[in-house]
Amino acid sequence: METSSILSLKKPEPNLNVSDVLCELVCPVCLNYLYPPIKQCATGHTYCEDCFQKLTRCPECRAPKTEARSFVLERLYNKLTFPCKFYDEGCQVLAKGVNIKYHEDGCEYSMKRCPLRFNNNCKWQGKKLELDLHCKKDHSTNIYFESSQTFKCKDFCSNVHRKYYILFSVFEEMFRCSMDINEEKGLVRFGVYLMSKIRSLGKFVYQLTIKKGDTELEAMSVKAPCIHLTDDAHRFEKDKYLIFKYNMLKEFCGEAGDLYYSVKIIPTAP
């Protein structure tokens, strides 16, 4: 009799406390939740991708970085439901692993600095949902709402180091178009960057057309992908821009020394 009553007892399951599990899913550098790809050092300490890229060695044990990922933590991540990281700013969205990352990337409550702050040292900071309004109000001459625009770079031929930043607010996405004229190095760098990372990456290319003087004739035309600017810095990232010889572009200037060019942003998917 006694034996059978012991057998009918169910062996207890390991006890799971969700907040204990969540503690293990925090990146020790930025203190945000880890998300795939979850990278690790040779010993096994885990970091988020953004922090991992900036590290030279593991800050916890000094072991070298590896290409290995923690698939167990990644699977766990995808089973959990997270609040949007802009909860404190007012966002109430909750979603599972991958979906929350996608949401946060374009969350209207995410905090942004002014993408045109390098033009006039603008100090604006605010929620993404207020960004469009700010740019329309304070940078109305530097923001465009049509996907194709022709520009005049005044006095292109005068020898100074200059940078130009222009915004495109099109296809429900913000793009920053940057031109950096470095006469000293004899180079001009050009790029069109996506302000959001996950949602729109790979979905847009841009076409840069240099005109012959102030005519509609094309001197040259190049297509390149719109790439995300990883640290939102104003410097041009290596391998992510087009490079032209300054002297070559000078040849295409009009008589007054101005360079005319057009930029068109093109969605790649239908």
Residue 5 main-chain phi, psi, to 5 deg: -70, -30
By CB under 5 A, tell whether 143 contacts Zn ion: no
The CA distance from 158 to 250, in Å, is 10
Please say whether the beta carbons of 269 and 215 come within 8 A: no
By CB under 5 A, tell whether 153 contacts Zn ion: no
The CA distance from 137 to 201, in Å, is 28
By CB under 5 A, tell whether 60 contacts Zn ion: yes
Give yes or no for a cis peptide into 37 (omega within 30° of 0): yes
Question: Which token pair is 261?
Answer: 């060019």
- In three-state secondary structure terms, 228 is strand
Interacting stretch for Zn ion, rule CB under 5 A, among 46-54, 152-160, 196-204, 231-239?
A: 46-54
Q: Which is nearer to Zn ion, 86 or 252 (CB)?
A: 86
Question: Which token pair is 108?
Answer: 């209207």
Q: Which is nearer to Zn ion, 131 or 208 (CB)?
A: 131
Interacting stretch for Zn ion, rule CB under 5 A, among 2-10, 11-19, 75-83, 90-98?
A: 90-98
The CA distance from 166 to 261, in Å, is 13
The set of residues, in sequence order, having a beta carbon less than 8 Å from that of 81 and lying 6+ positions away, is: 94, 95, 96, 100
By CB under 5 A, tell whether 63 contacts Zn ion: yes
By CB under 5 A, tell whether 125 contacts Zn ion: no
Interacting stretch for Zn ion, rule CB under 5 A, among 74-82, 103-111, 160-168, 172-180?
A: 103-111
Please say whether the beta carbons of 113 and 134 come within 8 A: no
Q: Which is nearer to Zn ion, 89 or 183 (CB)?
A: 89
By CB under 5 A, tell whether 131 contacts Zn ion: no
By CB under 5 A, tell whether 122 contacts Zn ion: yes
- In which order are the strands placed within the sheet that holds 259-267? 148-153, 259-267, 204-211, 218-225
Residue 259 pairs with which residues in a beta bridge? Answer: 153
Interacting stretch for Zn ion, rule CB under 5 A, among 39-47, 146-154, 174-182, 208-216?
A: 39-47
Q: Which of 102, 118, 124, 171 binds Zn ion (CB under 5 A)?
A: 124
By CB under 5 A, tell whether 95 contacts Zn ion: no
By CB under 5 A, tell whether 51 contacts Zn ion: yes
Strand pairing category for 162-170 and 173-182: antiparallel
Q: Which is nearer to Zn ion, 106 or 267 (CB)?
A: 106
By CB under 5 A, tell whether 183 contacts Zn ion: no
Which residues sit at the interface with Zn ion, rule CB under 5 A?
27, 29-30, 41, 43, 45, 48, 51, 58, 60-61, 63, 84, 86, 91, 93, 107, 114, 122, 124
